[in-house]
Amino acid sequence: MKLTEEQLQQFDRDGFLFFPGLFKPDEVKVLTDEVPRLYAQDRPENIRERAGGVVRTNFAAHLYSDPFARLARHPRMVDPVMQLLGEQLYMHQFKINGKMAFDGDLWQWHQDYGTWFNDDQMPEPRAMNVAIFLDEVNEFNGPLMFIPGSHKLGVIEAKHDLVTTSYPLWTITNDTIRQLVERGGIVAPKGVAGSMILFHSCLVHASTANLSPWNRVSVYLSLCAVSNHIRRFKRPEFIAHRDFTPIECLPDDCLLKAYPVDLPWLHGTPPSALISEAA
């Protein structure tokens, strides 16, 4: 899949591109069928919501789940990111966010590159976020909200919030958000399961709690240019990966055919991947 000149201009202006229904229902089903099994596992990669114990985020499934390992090598997802970053890519982070019906908590306003810069010492914002909807996203189940154009501002001052939710995040103050929204407004791409969003790692985003009866499970893949790999291993490896090997894509039908993939963490997370290095 090659981005057109118009899409490249749109990405430069807005900081994101939306592809409704890019993955077809039979492809999405291969992934959604696997999620309950992953969420039921007692693994450190499952981070739960503060209340209720449902999974907020599952990390690194591409290292122990066959369907997600194939998604991590999907050319429909990898090729446009390579085109935008002009280089081979490695997987910096891989998560399946639950945002479960009634219990899915909010994500505060933030830029992902803020965390990658502050915690991981990623040199430049030459990494891209990809969101793939496994459920329909509508106005009620906590869609991702963007402030268009906010990626142009580089790294915005943020503070490390360790209390609001069950997951620590470098968050942006309400005053700054008010100013950014006056300039750029807020948009929330919504659509069928299988839709994909590419968004710049400096784009300011957030999502509200899910009070609806509908789950909003989405996969978030963060692909980084190989030469821009992280320099500090402060966060555990299952959150910020340290294997900078370039991704090799599988054929376009890889969700429907069982191409062989490596699953190095199938029988458990290596102890070395659980420890944080001192800052």
Residues that bind ligand SIN (CB under 6 A): 97, 99, 107, 144, 205, 207, 218, 220
CB of 99 to ligand SIN, least distance (A): 6
CB of 201 to ligand SIN, least distance (A): 11
Q: Which is nearer to ligand SIN, 46 or 97 (CB)?
A: 97
Q: Which is nearer to ligand SIN, 58 or 250 (CB)?
A: 58
Residue 62 contacts which entry, Mn ion, ligand SIN, none (Cβ below 5-8 A, type-dependent): none
| Interaction between residue 45 and Mn ion (CB under 5 A) | no
CB of 63 to ligand SIN, least distance (A): 19
b/e per residue, 5-30, with b = 16+ CB within 10 A? Answer: eebeebbeebbbbbbeebbeeebbbb
CB of 251 to ligand SIN, least distance (A): 29
b/e per residue, 77-101, with b = 16+ CB within 10 A? Answer: bbebbbebbeebbbbbbbbbbbbbb
**E-state strands within the chain:** 16-19, 46-48, 55-59, 89-97, 107-110, 127-133, 145-146, 159-161, 169-171, 196-200, 205-207, 218-225
- Minimal CB distance residue for ligand SIN: 207
CB of 110 to Mn ion, least distance (A): 6
DSSP per-residue codes, 18-32: EETT-S-HHHHHHHH
Q: Given the rule CB under 5 A, which of 109-117, 134-142, 249-257, 264-272 is the region that contacts Mn ion?
A: 109-117
Residue 34 contacts which entry, ligand SIN, Mn ion, none (Cβ below 5-8 A, type-dependent): none
CA angle 109, 242, 253 (to 5 degrees): 80
Q: Which is nearer to ligand SIN, 72 or 144 (CB)?
A: 144
- Minimal CB distance residue for Mn ion: 112
| Interaction between residue 34 and Mn ion (CB under 5 A) | no
| Interaction between residue 112 and Mn ion (CB under 5 A) | yes
Residue 238 contacts which entry, Mn ion, ligand SIN, none (Cβ below 5-8 A, type-dependent): none
| Cβ neighbours of residue 37 closer than 8 Å, sequence gap 6 or more | none
DSSP per-residue codes, 117-160: HHTT--SSS-EEEEEEESS-B-SSS---EE-TTGGGG-SPP-EE
Q: Which is nearer to ligand SIN, 46 or 207 (CB)?
A: 207
- DSSP secondary structure code for residue 187 in this structure: B
- DSSP secondary structure code for residue 173 in this structure: -
Residue 58 contacts which entry, ligand SIN, Mn ion, none (Cβ below 5-8 A, type-dependent): none
In the complex, the residues that contact Mn ion under the rule CB under 5 A are 112
